[in-house]
């Protein structure tokens, strides 16, 4: 009985029963039941009425949830909700992980997300308990990719330079032309898988 919300519900329930008995003028069960179903009762908990088929209270209840920052939020009904409904609720381990970053507001230092087991699931390029470290393997892969692209550009540029020399003439012109063509990339207007590399 320490919960004030439950105390208010109990008080409202007793008031509703008392009013139904007053309206019926008797404590006979069937008469009181008819009064309970006949009209609503305005009490501290709101406008209370009962469904004639199920006998349940039709008043819409308020649903609340605790957020990771230990704040109690109203999530239902939508008309009075302060926060969206969080479903399914995170595991206790995941909540512990979320609370670790309450001060900064950046889950896993902004480089990942808290998994169900309570550990940070890091984004690509990050590692460590809280995703605060750089992943050297990913960095090396990116570096080699860049170097490979630069090498390809250099080869194409060299090919175009030699092609210009070939145009000036020479006894080995036809042979070198077949070995060092200058490349040109053409694409269709749609730009979807319709690009071709052609010699100039």
Query: 176 falls in which pLDDT band (50, 70, 90)?
Result: very low
pLDDT in tens, 133-156: 888 765 566 666 877 788 887 777
Decide the pairing of beta strands 195-199 and 183-187: antiparallel
Q: What is the CATH number of domain 90-134?
A: 2.10.25
pLDDT in tens, 108-140: 988 899 998 999 999 988 888 889 888 876 556
Give the pLDDT of residue 125: 87
pTM over 0.75: no
Give the pLDDT of residue 72: 84
- How long, in residues, is the chain? 200
Distance CA 40, CA 20 (A): 10
Share of the chain above pLDDT 90, in %: 18
Sign for the CA dihedral angle at 107, 112, 117, 118 comes to negative
Give the pLDDT of residue 63: 87
Query: 1 falls in which pLDDT band (50, 70, 90)?
Result: very low
pLDDT in tens, 58-106: 887 788 887 766 678 899 888 889 988 878 878 889 888 887 776 666 8
Give the pLDDT of residue 26: 95
pLDDT above 90 for 171:
no
Mean pLDDT of the chain: 76
Task: Tell me how far CA of residue 177 lies from CA of 5, 152, 164, 169, in angstroms.
Answer: 89, 19, 10, 11
């Amino acid at each position: 009985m320490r919960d004030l919300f439950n105390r208010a519900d109990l008080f409202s329930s007793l008031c509703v029963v008392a009013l139904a008995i007053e309206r019926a003028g008797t404590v006979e069960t069937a008469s009181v039941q008819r009064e309970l179903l006949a009209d609503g009762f305005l009490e501290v908990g709101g406008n209370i009425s009962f469904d004639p088929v199920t006998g349940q209270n039709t008043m819409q209840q308020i649903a609340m949830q605790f957020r990771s920052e230990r704040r109690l939020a109203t999530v239902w009904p939508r008309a009075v909700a302060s926060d969206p409904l969080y479903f399914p609720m995170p595991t206790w381990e995941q909540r512990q992980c979320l609370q670790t970053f309450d001060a900064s507001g950046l889950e896993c230092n902004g480089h990942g997300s808290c998994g169900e087991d309570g550990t940070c699931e890091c984004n690509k390029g990050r590692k460590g308990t809280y995703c605060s470290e750089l992943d050297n393997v990913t960095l090396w892969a990116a570096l080699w990719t860049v170097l490979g692209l630069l090498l390809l550009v250099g080869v194409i540029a060299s090919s175009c330079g030699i092609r210009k020399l070939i145009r000036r003439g020479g006894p080995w012109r036809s042979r070198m032309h077949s070995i060092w063509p200058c490349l040109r990339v053409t694409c269709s207007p749609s730009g979807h898988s319709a690009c071709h590399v052609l010699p100039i």
